[in-house]
Structure 1
Amino acid sequence: MPLVSTRSLSATRRLLKGGASTFLLTSSVLMVHGVQAEEISIACGSGDAADYCPVLARQWAEQTGHQVNVISTPNATTEKLSLYQQLLSSQSSDVDVLMIDIVWPGLLDDHLVDLGDYLPEDATDGFFPALVDNNTIDGRLVAMPWYTDAGLLYYRKDLLEKYGHEVPETWQQLTEVAREIQAAERAAGNNDFWGYIFQGRAYEGLTCNALEWVASHGGGTLVDAEGEVTIDNPKAIAALELAASWIGDISPEGTLNHTEEETRGVFQSGNALFLRNWPYVWSLAQSEGSSVRGKVGMATLPHGPDGESRSTLGGWNFAVSRYSEHPELAADLVAYMTAKPQQKAHAIVMGMNPTIESLYQDEEVLASNPSMRGLYETLANGVPRPASVTGDAYARVSNAFFNRTHQVLSGDIDAASAVRQLDSELKRLGRRGW
């Protein structure tokens, strides 16, 4: 039988000279049923019940006769990235396959193989083009998309019906409807009720929200595909001004410190009309014991007066380390993990959103999670963050964006001044090279 071992990250880290740490695993050559079996390692998620990566790795090992060491990593993306950077900067061959966030390909590409050298030419056929483009750096395919996310609008369909409103199509309509129903619900006795909840803490989640506001107003995507900074324009200013007007009106002051789970908690407790969040919320909102079970609808995000709905793309991918001693075998594992049958199983068993377009018409997938029927257009038109084009500078680009946006939401600076200052900051970063 092929061997599959599962290790926590803490069990594989060792202190190196100078205090750096990395993954340290043993390497061996096994004989399985007379076949020479190599040993490779894959860094998956956090190893909890929601992590389907070890299941698929085990299946691949059983089918190929090779050994796979499955390494669980921290749940926090910043900690995961830090450990990957330590591993790759030391040019360690201890981990062959890495699960990477959608905004990391441009940051890590120097350390990743071109999967195009190992996979067939049609390997990316059928995947969402935006995700393939996101993972292609200077013509090199450095990662394969595994599952994806996009920002969505959740709403209380019972309350919209009660007060005679449709799902808002524009941000201004959302503002007006939220204000009206919030006032009515408070008058009825729920003083904790809010019209709109979103992620407003100064972190990557605010970058996602703000990018949606700006892009859906027709204000661009912060940095365009050619690397030109585009943020200083009237439509971007209007988008940020509108968002700032929500704080203390239809959104609580606590929004300034809210991440995904805080906002889900408010909405799922029955204390919000509208919520911006990721697709994972759907199944939790409909679960047994949820205060809003059977009362929730899901729609594309609103847009500005002359724009169209735009949702920031999220999700995870698989890449192969340049320092792997078995890159061809590692690429084969990546191809298996991201292939249609495995993505279908991931969608059915775990409710995750596939990166292969045809699965959104698959009846078994839709039967397991009807919400996916309405996700296709949102995902197909999703907005990638400018991570690929800005490369190593993306973390600083995003940091500057969410910090300036947070200042606008907090009332510390006006939107026009914020985008002017942000424009200067980003252009300085760009001159250093991205």
Structure 2
Amino acid sequence: MKPTRLAAVAGIAVIGLALAGCSGSSSSGSGGGDAASGQDSRGPITYVQGKDNSNVVRPLVAKWNAAHPSEKVTFKEQSDQADQQHDDLVQHFQAKDANYDVVDVDVVWTAEFAAKGWLTPLTGKMKIDTSKLLPSTVATATYNKTLFAAPQTSDGGLLYYRSDLIKTPPTTWDEMMADCDIAKQAGIGCYAGQFAKYEGLTVNTAEAINGAGGSILAKDGVTPTVDTAAAKKGLQNLVDAFKDGNIPAEAITYQEEQGRTAFEAGKLLFLRNWPYVYSLAKTDGSSTVKDTFGIAPLPGDTGIGASTLGGHNAAISVYSKHKATAHDFLEFLESNETQSFFATQGSLAPVVASLYSDPTLVEKLPYLPVLLKSIQSAVPRPVSPFYPAVTGAIQDNAYAALKGSKTVDQALKDMQAAIKAAG
């Protein structure tokens, strides 16, 4: 279960609420599906999700199937690329495919899919209990004041560091850049994140801007605010780090997995990535840092930075013929037992608030308190039916700045105009 797939609600405001009047009915839209159809029907269903990197999904599906022999779940595994996962879902929704019953939805896709009438509102017979969940996760599954998905896993960016080389992790960006001298002495790269031109670059750019005191959107949730001094400082930090080698040149091609394997191979002092890396770095046979890495919050301008809120939600397609079974499967995914398994098997961030202080879990996963801080201080990406255009504007211009084909000033000016046009 790849977290970026492609991950406290503050900062980047919610476009979706401002644009809700354009979307028509909350239960149907351009998709033409019938949300009410099949709500009492039970039978086999298919669950669609990205690549199961940590072998989390298959054991859960097997457990469900053993208890529900007449309502078995078939796991349809997508690629490990968030953009490809998104396009695959869109194609099947447009084809009104009844075989995509429950789909794993990146938090930034909820509004887009709900506005197009592809997701079954979780109201009435489909209602689920969200009282035990982290409020920020519920917000990511809500569009036009209606819950359209079940929060499944949350996510917050973390700073992985070599604890054998750094005794105290940096709390500010400048401190981290100063520590790069240690990396040079050790003959390894200093810092990497996700800088290839895809959704991960939107995440990393947003963290750089928010961490420097800037923002992507104003509080009205509509007006872009990237053409500012604070936003410039954030993006400039990344550009300067590439120029002086503190971010290795090859990191311009990094997505999550490339950064993870580089860190596990001992080639990096610092890595920005998601919680799933913890489990793999501890257990991979090829990992050279099993006992020599630590985890800290992302550094910001004057202290702890602003992670981008990540995570995934499980939604029921309006075209599903067995929505009653699909509904029960959502509740199964949100159970404390399943959420604990997500954490221990795949080091995925649970959505059940109480698990972050569960003594047994914290003993197994000592990073949980740090992760909770990351999630609580996280800033969500824009929630918008037009999100593909918004993230495209961020990616195109940030990448141009990192490559040096645009100045930071020009990149932010163009980003501002493109985000405005997207809405």
Output the TM-score relative to the length of structure 2.
0.83
Which sections of structure 2, spanning at least 5 residues, go unmatched? Answer: 1-37
Q: CA deviation at 1:223?
A: 6.3
Cross-structure match for 2:118: 111
Cross-structure match for 1:318: 314
Q: 1:79 aligns with which of 77, 80, 84?
A: 84
Which sections of structure 1, spanning at least 5 residues, go unmatched? Answer: 1-28, 30-35
Query: Is the 1:128–1:380 Cα contact (8 Å) retained in structure 2?
Result: no
Cross-structure match for 2:397: 404
Mean Cα displacement is larger for which, 40-49 or 292-301? 40-49
Q: 2:300 aligns with which of 294, 299, 303?
A: 303
For residues 323-362 of structure 1, the aligned pairs below 5 Å read 323-362=319-358
Q: Using a 3 Å threshold, how does the CA distance of structure 1 residues 289 and 424 change in structure 2: closer, same or farther?
A: closer
Residue by residue over 1:100-154, the C-alpha shift from the partner in whole angstroms, topping out at 9 and shown as x without a partner, is 2222101211211111223557x11121211111110001111111112211111
For residues 29-68 of structure 1, the aligned pairs below 5 Å read 38-45=42-49, 48=52, 50-64=54-68, 66-68=70-72
Cross-structure match for 2:204: 209
Paired letter, 2:85: K
Mean Cα displacement is larger for which, 68-77 or 334-343? 68-77
Instruction: Provide the C-alpha distance between the structure 2 equivalents of 1:295 and 1:346, rounded to a whole number of angstroms.
Output: 24
Q: For 1:286, what is the secondary structure of its paired residue? A: helix
Q: For 1:382, what is the secondary structure of its paired residue? A: coil
Instruction: Provide the C-alpha distance between the structure 1 equivalents of 2:236 and 2:321, rounded to a whole number of angstroms.
Output: 53
Q: CA deviation at 1:428?
A: 1.3
For residues 182-331 of structure 1, the aligned pairs below 5 Å read 182-185=183-186, 190=187, 193-222=188-217, 226-249=221-244, 250-287=246-283, 288-305=285-302, 308-331=304-327
Query: Is the 1:217–1:308 Cα contact (8 Å) retained in structure 2?
Result: no
Percent sequence identity over aligned pairs:
28
Paired letter, 1:105: T
Q: 1:151 aligns with which of 151, 157, 182?
A: 157
Instruction: Provide the C-alpha distance between the structure 2 equivalents of 1:399 and 1:223, rounded to a whole number of angstroms.
Output: 19
Query: Is the 1:347–1:353 Cα contact (8 Å) retained in structure 2?
Result: yes
Q: For 2:185, what is the secondary structure of its paired residue? A: helix
Q: CA deviation at 1:404?
A: 0.6
Output the TM-score relative to the length of structure 1.
0.81
Residue by residue over 1:147-168, the C-alpha shift from the partner in whole angstroms, topping out at 9 and shown as x without a partner, is 122111111122124xxxx321
Cross-structure match for 2:13: none
Q: For 1:95, what is the secondary structure of its paired residue? A: coil
Query: Is the 1:57–1:337 Cα contact (8 Å) retained in structure 2?
Result: no
Q: CA deviation at 1:47?
A: 6.8
Instruction: Provide the C-alpha distance between the structure 2 equivalents of 1:320 and 1:336, rounded to a whole number of angstroms.
Output: 14
Mean Cα displacement is larger for which, 88-97 or 374-383? 88-97
Residue by residue over 1:17-53, the C-alpha shift from the partner in whole angstroms, topping out at 9 and shown as x without a partner, is xxxxxxxxxxxx9xxxxxx993131323357573433
Residue by residue over 1:331-386, the C-alpha shift from the partner in whole angstroms, topping out at 9 and shown as x without a partner, is 22211221222212332333322111111111222233222232111122222111
Instruction: Provide the C-alpha distance between the structure 1 equivalents of 2:88 and 2:195, rounded to a whole number of angstroms.
Output: 27
Q: For 2:227, what is the secondary structure of its paired residue? A: coil
Paired letter, 2:420: K
For residues 88-107 of structure 1, the aligned pairs below 5 Å read 88-107=93-112
Q: Using a 3 Å threshold, how does the CA distance of structure 1 residues 48 and 228 change in structure 2: closer, same or farther?
A: closer
Query: Is the 2:159–2:273 Cα contact (8 Å) retained in structure 1?
Result: yes
Instruction: Provide the C-alpha distance between the structure 2 equivalents of 1:49 and 1:314, rounded to a whole number of angstroms.
Output: 17
Query: Is the 2:171–2:300 Cα contact (8 Å) retained in structure 1?
Result: yes
Alpha-carbon RMSD across the aligned residues, in angstroms, is: 2.4
Query: Is the 2:277–2:347 Cα contact (8 Å) retained in structure 1?
Result: no
Give the total of aligned pairs.
380
Paired letter, 2:177: T
Cross-structure match for 1:382: 378
Instruction: Provide the C-alpha distance between the structure 2 equivalents of 1:263 and 1:101, rounded to a whole number of angstroms.
Output: 21
Q: For 2:164, what is the secondary structure of its paired residue? A: helix
Cross-structure match for 2:17: none
Instruction: Provide the C-alpha distance between the structure 2 equivalents of 1:183 and 1:49, rounded to a whole number of angstroms.
Output: 32
Q: For 1:273, what is the secondary structure of its paired residue? A: strand
Instruction: Provide the C-alpha distance between the structure 2 equivalents of 1:350 and 1:283, rounded to a whole number of angstroms.
Output: 6
For residues 133-148 of structure 1, the aligned pairs below 5 Å read 133-148=139-154
Instruction: Provide the C-alpha distance between the structure 2 equivalents of 1:419 and 1:217, rounded to a whole number of angstroms.
Output: 15
Q: CA deviation at 1:65?
A: 5.4
Mean Cα displacement is larger for which, 149-158 or 42-51? 42-51
Instruction: Provide the C-alpha distance between the structure 2 equivalents of 1:134 and 1:94, rounded to a whole number of angstroms.
Output: 25
Query: Is the 1:148–1:353 Cα contact (8 Å) retained in structure 2?
Result: yes
Q: Using a 3 Å threshold, how does the CA distance of structure 1 residues 254 and 224 change in structure 2: closer, same or farther?
A: farther
Query: Is the 2:232–2:412 Cα contact (8 Å) retained in structure 1?
Result: yes
Rg larger in structure: 1
